[in-house]
Amino acid sequence: MATRARTTFQKRQKEMARKDKQQRKAERREQRKLSRNVTDKFPPQDDTFPTETEPGMARVVSRHITVER
């Protein structure tokens, strides 16, 4: 009879550990989802592109390409 009680206790411990693991995994998934949404809303800034048109650079004005001098 003692072994039956021990196995029941072990099963309970195993089930609790499985639930804890599932909960931690769900929390990690939620954190990734939230951090991914934040980075998608604000893409990284790329400093290689000028913010204003520099002299000599082509720009599109009403479907025509003009060159500033």
Q: Which of 16, 19, 39 is nearest to 27 (CA)?
A: 19
pLDDT in tens, the chain (69 residues): 566 788 899 999 999 999 999 999 999 999 999 988 766 666 666 656 555 556 666 555 556 666 665
- pTM of the model as a whole: 0.47
Task: Give just the sign of the alpha carbon dihedral 50, 53, 54, 57.
Answer: positive
Q: Token pair of 50, please?
A: 């000028």
